[in-house]
Amino acid sequence: MNTKAQFDPALLTSAQRSAILFTLTMVTMLYAMTVTIANVALPKMQGSLSATQDQIAWVVTFNIVATAVATPLAGWLAARMGRRKLMICAVILFAIASVACGTANSVEELVFYRIIQGASGAPLVPLSQAIVVDTYPKEKHASATAIFGIGVMLGPIVAPTIGGYVSEAYSWRWVFFMILPFTLVALAGVLAFIHDRRAPVKISLDWTGFIALAVAIASFQLMLDRGERNDWFDSTETIMEAALVVVALYIFIVHTVTTDKPFLNPVMLKDRNYAVGLLIVLAFGMLNFTPITILPSLLQQLRGYPDSVIGLVLSARGVGTLIGFTVMAFAGKIDPRYPLTLGFLCQVIAGYSMWQFDINLTIMDVLWTAWLQGLGVGLMWVPLSMITFATLNPKYVPDGMALFHLLRNIGSSIHISLSIALVIHTSRMNYSEIREQVTPFNRNFQVPAVKNVWNTETMQGLANISTEIGRQATMIGYLNSFAFFAVTAAVAMPLVLLIKKRKNGLV
């Protein structure tokens, strides 16, 4: 590749563009893989590291939070360092963090390395999208973006399938080690094909706004993750975390509306469709990853399914998302409100169907609901992006995109934490309520058919009854989290009605 062609996309050949597109797809797959591949092994991580259910959820939530906080920095870092250098550094740090995750010996270590992994992976998606747009002429943006999106969706299909078998055959540590070959291929592609179009420039960053926002998000997430364990506001720790959220958020808001160059420009919110899009993407984030975080522990804890089967369940969700993306690639002329509404409806139906599970659920029950939830995600993402940015002033698009992804990730981490807390809290409540019925005075235990199965007169019989009560109470807790998921989707659906539209298109 000659020097001029490296810096002028107009002079790139079709083969060179294809190589760049393949490289960027591989780079973006890295982060998509880490979310789903870690979920496959959550139950084994919990047992190996002697963690509780809420503690092991930190492996997912703090990775998402780190991504959320670091994503708005991508534009500033790219301007300061150049896209090529930033992407090289991010991929290398991502590879090191992934290997470190596999060597962790405690929950705290693993969460720390996952934070680094999330922060280093944060610039990869926005950088890759920007380079794809720069590489292809405007008339080919739609096809290139579609290929890029479909290729990226292969990550959540391939990663859980392979990760499930690897975790089952070796250990959960190998789900992180297996990411290394993919990072090496991506790094080789970046070194060979990615080049900067312009020299780095020194631009300022609103550090006050950034730090205040980061502290507010991190404190809020910590409060949600540890709240149930600490009895919420009966705990001094939770009160301090809540106070820190309020103070940091106050500083961020006041500073944002008073400074000349804020970290996130509030002027963007004057655009109605953009403001509505932010509300919808917050709800989208809440619905995106919650089921695939909850289902693995349910399937292994209550049904005893191996990691390989759990990986297939998560892959089914990825297949649904891929189909949704493919459909939207050929449905560009449809009013985006229709597929967006249909996507929400898929989430409601999937959530309601999971709410109807019982302790004897089969793998097919989980497969089709996971697939439907994934299909909803695929149908929602493209029209949601179109609606949000259709009328936003182009000069605000970089900052607007940062806030868009920030809220998506925050929505995911918040809903996962609340769902896990709901599972734990209601499981305890139901265990206490059911246990009260297990007494020698309960006539049901005198029925011969019941007495032969559940014996209340021996220690072993009482232990068996206690175990079963625990299983049933935990299942009710999971069902409550699925009901919460379905209600969230149903409540968010009417937001689509707020989208402003005229006969000639979005305004």
Using a pLDDT cut of 90, give the percent of the chain over it: 16
User: Quick count: other Cβ atoms within 10 Å of Cβ 318?
Assistant: 26
Q: Do residues 317 and 374 lie in contact, with contact meaning Cβ atoms separated by under 8 Å? A: yes
Give the distance, in angstroms, between the CA of residue 321 and the centroid of all CA atoms in the same chain: 13
Length of the chain: 507
pLDDT score of 431: 84
Q: How confident is the model at residue 449 (pLDDT cuts 50, 70, 90)?
A: low
CATH T-level fold of 1-204 = Growth Hormone; Chain: A; (1.20.1250)
Residue 457: count of CB within 10 angstroms of its CB: 9
Helix intervals (H) in 265-306: 272-288, 290-303
What's the CA gap between 237 and 477, in Å, rounded?
A: 26
Structure confidence at residue 435 as a pLDDT band (50, 70, 90): confident
Question: pLDDT for 8-34, tens place per residue?
Answer: 566 677 787 888 888 888 888 877 777
Burial pattern 384-393, b for ≥16 Cβ within 10 A else e, equals: bbbbbbbebe
Tokens standing for 226? 């540890």
d(CA 54, CA 59): 10
1-204 and 268-507 have identical folds:
yes
In this predicted structure, the answer to whether residue 298 has a pLDDT above a threshold of 90 is: no
Q: Which residue has the tokens 């990760």?
A: 163
Q: Write the DSSP symbol of residue 246.
A: H
Q: pLDDT-based confidence at 39, cuts 50/70/90?
A: confident
**Which of the four pLDDT bands, split at 50, 70 and 90, describes residue 124?**
confident
Q: Could you give the percent of the chain with pLDDT greater than 70?
A: 90
What average pLDDT does this structure show over 137-143?
68
DSSP state of 235: S
Q: Which residue has the tokens 């078998």?
A: 165
Of the candidates 48, 122, 136, 44, the residue with the CA atom closest to the CA atom of residue 402: 122
Say whether 77 sits in a helix, a strand or coil.
Answer: helix
Looking at residues 361-383, what average pLDDT do you find? 89
Q: What is the DSSP letter of 506?
A: E
User: Closest by alpha carbon to 182, among 207, 155, 157?
Assistant: 155
State the alpha helices, DSSP H only, in 41-178: 42-48, 53-70, 74-81, 83-103, 107-121, 124-135, 141-153, 155-169, 174-177
C-alpha–C-alpha distance, residues 398 and 195, integer Å? 20
DSSP letters of 344-394? HHHHHHHHHHHHT--TT--HHHHHHHHHHHHHHHHHHHHHHHHHHHSSS-G
Please, how many CA atoms are within 13 Å of residue 52, restricted to the half-sphere of its CB?
10
Which amino acid belongs to residue 126? P
Specify the long-range contacts of residues 104-107, CB closer than 8 Å, at least 24 apart.
Answer: 104/49, 105/49, 106/49, 107/49, 107/51, 107/55, 107/56, 107/58, 107/59
Q: pLDDT for 234-262, tens place per residue? A: 888 889 989 999 999 999 899 888 888 88
State pLDDT tens for residues 81-117: 888 888 899 999 999 999 999 898 888 899 899 999 9
- Per-residue pLDDT, averaged over 462-485, amounts to 87
Report domain extents, the chain: 1-204, 206-262, 268-507
Give the mean model confidence (pLDDT) for residues 398-406. 80
- Is the domain 268-507 a CATH 1.20.1250.20 member? yes
**Residue 145 in this model has a pLDDT that exceeds 90:** no
Q: What is the DSSP letter of 471?
A: H
| pLDDT of 490 higher than 90 | yes
Q: What is the mean pLDDT of residues 180-195?
A: 87
| pTM for the predicted model, two decimal places | 0.82
Average pLDDT, the chain: 82
The residue-averaged pLDDT of 266-278 equals 87
- The residues that bridge with 359 in the sheet, in sequence order, are none
- d(CA 491, CA 485) in angstroms, rounded, equals 10
CA dihedral 150, 154, 155, 156 (to 10 degrees): 100
State how far the Cα of 155 lies from the Cα of 382, in Å rounded to an integer.
Answer: 18
Round to whole Å and give the CA distance between 494 and 473: 33
